[in-house]
Amino acid sequence: LEKKLGKSVRVIDKDGNVGIALNNASEKLHVSGNILATGTITPNSDIAFKKDIKPLTNVLNKVTQLIGINFTYKNNNEESMGLVAQDVEKVFPELVKGEEGNKSLNYMGLTGALIEAIKELSAKVETLEAA
């Protein structure tokens, strides 16, 4: 099933993936362009969806290896900031998907590491203040 709206839009492909403004969706919903939501985007996080749960430890060293950058998107000249998937992949490979030239980064997955890194820093500060 395919519809035309300016650019090619494949509504549903043979795998049940929906692509907007692209021909080959690699996820259940794959959008080429910006997405605006007037509500909250909320991923499932209930323990019922998870297994093999282990606390993150010693993440401060990994987080400090990440390099925050300013950049301009090539396709629309929009300025933004963030991280490079290949840099994150070196320390948190589970947050990066895709092949070279088309890697994506699970930014929401960084939240746990950032929280634990703050807690590690806080413990170091408390130790220094107590000295």
One DSSP character per residue, 61-124 reads HHHTT---EEEE-TTT--EEEE--HHHHHHH-GGGEES-TTS-EE-GGGHHHHHHHHHHHHHHH
pLDDT digits (tens, 9 = 90+) for 38-55: 999 898 999 999 999 999
Model confidence at 71, pLDDT cuts 50, 70, 90, reads very high
Nearest Cα neighbor of 68 from 86, 81, 85 is 81
pLDDT digits (tens, 9 = 90+) for 16-29: 888 888 878 888 88
Tokens 């990994």, residue located: 62
pTM of the predicted model as reported, rounded to 2 decimal places: 0.80
